[in-house]
Chain A
Amino acid sequence: MTGTFPTRHSTTLTAIWTIVVLLFLYIPMMAVVLASFSKLRYFRFPITGWTTEWYSKTLESLSVRDLLWTSLSVATLVTVLSVGLAFFGALAFARYDWTGRKLYQRLVLLPIFFPQAVLGLSLLLWFSALGITTSWKTAVFAHMIWIVPIVILIISIQVYSFDSALEEAAFDLGASRWQVMKEITLPIMSPGIVSGGIFAFLLSWGNFPLSLFSTGADQTVPEWLYAKMVSGYTPMVPTLGSLTMSGAAILLLLIYLAWMAIVRRKRGRAGSQ
């Protein structure tokens, strides 16, 4: 017999390469955090003096609070609306067999395969033609054009693995359409819906190219960061950057812990004799 070829050797090499690339992904973010504690008004390495004063300054700044509030409002609305639309969109994408489905699948994915800056600009023309003044509310709309397809895709993955006989069985056992949805469909699809929601929130929170053209007089955090970066250095850039990164990290961690708790509770119940 010839040796089976995912050899130990190649597995180790692949693992090492993966770790190298992961470091490549995380080093810039660590650099941002590092810079946020530097005392100097301009960045210089090695860092000579350490401070947390930029954090208190950033948090006290009223304009930063405005930014955070705007970004938060946009992301929250985008999440709620996108998940609602995408849930049914995903059923049409992956579940039901209907005439026109193949075409729908392709059209729905187009916005993902589309240059975002151009999408943002086109929306700007569209809003002005419709006589709508751009503000954070139009940004919600703009983000959704890009995020709804992504969430449809994420929920679809769950829908594909969903056995429709489960719904039929519940229906057969006397459940109404609404009871089938509540008892069977929603609980089984909830992991897909939750991950779709997380993606919607964080992608909206971090989006720059769409916000740039659709927020009008309002400004989101990424827009502000970009403006400051292009015009010159201020220590508030790494500070606000670190703050939003840790915000995202804490959010993800909380969701992860909540999910683990649910799993453990289920297992615990299953394990009790």
Chain B
Amino acid sequence: MSEETTPFLELAGVTKKYGDFTAVSDINLSIREGELFTLVGPSGSGKTTMIRMLVGMDQPTSGEMRLKGRVLNKVPANKRPTCMVFQSLALFPHKSVGENVEFAMKIAGVDPARRRQRAEELLAQLRLPLDCYDKGVNQCSGGERQRIALARALAFNPEILFFDEPLSALDFRLRKALEKELKDIHRETGKTFVYITHSLEEAMVMSDRIGIMRDGRIVQVGTPHEIYNKPINEFVAKFMGEVNSLEVEAVGENMVKSKVYGDTYHVGTMPAGFTAGFLIIRPEVVKIGKAAAPMPNRIQGVVFNDYALGSRIQYQVRSATNGDPWLVERLQDEAYEGQLGDTVDIGWRPEDSIVLSE
């Protein structure tokens, strides 16, 4: 990781307490200029508190936030060179689309002709039709409203643009399209984007780097690739998607034993000094039927159900010995040929398993 890049936005020991409750605890983080950084975590993990402090709606109880070396803590939101796209979008309902986009420029005292010109540029950049300009914001569709909110924030010309789950209310297809569009706009403008979401999928598609939050702390920071392949603990591994997870302990060189049932598995590598923890097997590395035969790790089970996932198909196989459910995911063209209720073998290679201490 290239830590030598000049720190752009830096957080040092940032903590936020509400009475006895610690919402955010001792966050140290540095965000680089021009990157799209995503904070992701389940609800209640402190990510909303983080973004509110970064924008200036809230103040940290302790710690420092610095933008290009300048301490931000005491700077009120309206004096910060940052801007946020709200979860509710917060479009001004009594103003037209044009007036919404021009708001920051009007506040800054830009003359009307210049304002209008810039607003029209932004509408064009965000692929909004020009006749939108005079429309009321409530007459626009969900996707248009997203773009208007983004245009309004870009018109402020912020150093950093924050996003508070703006896509969460949209339907699946529109959300997928806008995720990519947002990433394209990020490339076009070259600005620093900080995005928060509870959906790791969304974070994977868009981000240059991801920070995973849990209980007010940052658990892991890395590129989507790093986080997918090297989750730091079981929480991150599970958060990344559906996995098979077993509580295990070490029983020799690259061998682990299930704490509950005592069955043993071969693994590729173990963390240094590993004694006990979790064995994580991704559904997509598990083979089923004939393909499972040569695998060193094998379980016999009954095919209980199947789930179509578009290009893939997922099976739930229940262990014949203890009934534990295992998830197996296959591409459509290597789907299992038998029937539900069949007794089959599933298996995986030792090097495809992940062993985690916590």
Q: Do chains A and B touch in the complex (CB under 8 A)?
A: yes
Which residues between 53 and 76 of chain B lie within 8 Å of chain A, taking CB atoms? Answer: 55-57, 76
- A168–B80 Cα distance when bound, in Å, is 13
Instruction: Name the residue on B nearest A173 (C-beta).
Output: B104
Q: In the complex, how many angstroms separate the beta carbon of A99 from the nearest chain B beta carbon?
A: 12
Segment touching A, from B34-42, B81-89, B190-198, B203-211: B81-89
Cβ contact within 8 Å between A270 and B90: no
- Minimum CB–CB distance for A40 against chain B, Å: 55
Shortest Cβ distance from residue A243 to the other chain B in the assembled complex, whole angstroms = 37
- Within the assembled complex, what's the spacing in Å between the Cα atoms of A166 and B103? 12
- In A128-178, the 8 Å CB interface with B consists of 163, 165-166, 168-176
Chain A contacts of B131 at CB under 8 A?
273
Verify if B226 is at the interface (C-beta below 8 Å from A): no
A44 in the interface, Cβ–Cβ < 8 Å? no
Judged by a CB distance under 8 angstroms, whether A81 is at the interface is no
A269 near B78: Cβ-Cβ < 8 Å: no
| Contact indicator B107/A172 (Cβ below 8 Å) | no
Main secondary structure of the interface of B (DSSP, over half): mixed
Q: How many residues of B contact A (CB 8 A)?
A: 31
Distance in Å from the Cβ of A173 to the closest Cβ of chain B? 4
Residues of A258-273 contacting chain B, CB below 8 A: 266, 269-270, 272-273
Q: With the chains together, A1 CA to B44 CA distance in Å?
A: 43
Which residues in A have their C-beta under 8 angstroms from that of B135? 270
Any chain B CB within 8 A of the CB of A46?
no
* Interface contact A269-B96, CB-CB below 8 Å: yes
In the complex, residue of chain B having the shortest beta-carbon distance to the beta carbon of A273: B131
By a CB distance below 8 angstroms, the chain A residues around B56 are 172
Q: Is the CB of A163 within 8 A of B136?
A: no
A3 interfacial contact with B, CB 8 Å: no
**Smallest CB separation, B192 vs chain A (Å):** 16
Q: Are A168 and B86 in contact (CB under 8 A)?
A: yes
With A172-B55, A172-B84, A174-B104 given, is the CB distance from A163 to B77 under 8 Å? no
* Chain B residue nearest to A177 in the complex (CB): B78
Is residue A184 contacting chain B, with contact meaning CB distance below 8 A? Answer: yes
Asked if A92 lies at the interface with its beta carbon under 8 angstroms from chain B, I say no
Alpha-carbon distance between A173 and B91 when the two chains are bound, in angstroms: 12
- Given A174-B156, A179-B107: A270 and B86 within 8 A (CB)? no
Q: Are B86 and A184 in contact (CB under 8 A)?
A: no
A115 within 8 A of B: no
A165 touches B90 (CB 8 A): yes
Contacts of B94 in A (CB 8 A): 187-188
- Answer whether residue B177 sits at the interface, using C-beta atoms and an 8 A cutoff: no
- Which of B57, B79, B134, B152 meets A168, CB within 8 Å? B57
Query: Which residues of the other chain, A, contact B152 by a CB distance below 8 angstroms?
Result: 173
Cβ B86 vs Cβ A165 within 8 A = yes
B139 to chain A, nearest CB (A): 6
Which chain A residue shows the least CB distance to B56? A172
Q: Which residue of B lies closest to A179 (CB)?
A: B107
A170-B92 in contact (CB<8A): yes
Q: Which A85-100 residues have a C-beta within 8 angstroms of B? A: none
Residue of B76, B83, B87, B96 near A173 (CB, 8 A) is B83
| CA A175 to CA B107, docked complex, whole Å | 6
Give every chain A residue within 8 A of B93 (Cβ-Cβ): 166, 188
Q: Cβ of B134 and Cβ of A166 under 8 Å apart?
A: no
Interface residues of B in 88-139 (CB under 8 A from A): 88, 90, 92-94, 96, 103-104, 107-108, 131, 134-136, 139
Residue of A nearest to B93 (CB): A188
- B78 and A175 contacting across the interface, CB-CB below 8 Å: yes
Using Cβ atoms and an 8 Å threshold, which residues of chain B touch A165?
86-88, 90
Alpha-carbon distance A166/B92, docked complex (angstroms): 6
Interchain nearest-CB distance for A208 vs B (Å): 39
Query: How distant is A45 from chain B, measured CB to nearest CB, in Å?
Result: 52
B225 → chain A, closest Cβ, in Å?
33
Q: How far is the CB of A160 from chain B (nearest CB, A)?
A: 15
- Cβ–Cβ < 8 Å partners of A272 in chain B: 134
Question: Known: A173-B156, A270-B134, A270-B139. Is A168-B78 also a contact (CB below 8 A)?
Answer: no
Besides A165-B88, A188-B92, 18 more A-B contacts (Cβ < 8 Å) are A168-B90, A169-B86, A170-B92, A171-B76, A171-B78, A172-B57, A172-B78, A173-B107, A173-B152, A173-B153, A174-B78, A174-B107, A174-B156, A175-B78, A175-B107, A183-B92, A269-B96, A273-B131
Residues of chain B whose beta carbon lies under 8 Å from any beta carbon of chain A: 55-57, 76-80, 82-84, 86-88, 90, 92-94, 96, 103-104, 107-108, 131, 134-136, 139, 152-153, 156
Binding site for B on A (CB under 8 A): 163, 165-166, 168-176, 179, 183-184, 187-188, 266, 269-270, 272-273
Question: Could you pull out 6 A-B pairs where Cβ atoms are within 8 angstroms?
Answer: A166-B90, A172-B77, A173-B153, A183-B103, A188-B92, A269-B96
8 nearest A-B residue pairs (beta carbon)? A169-B90, A165-B90, A173-B104, A270-B136, A174-B107, A175-B107, A172-B77, A187-B94
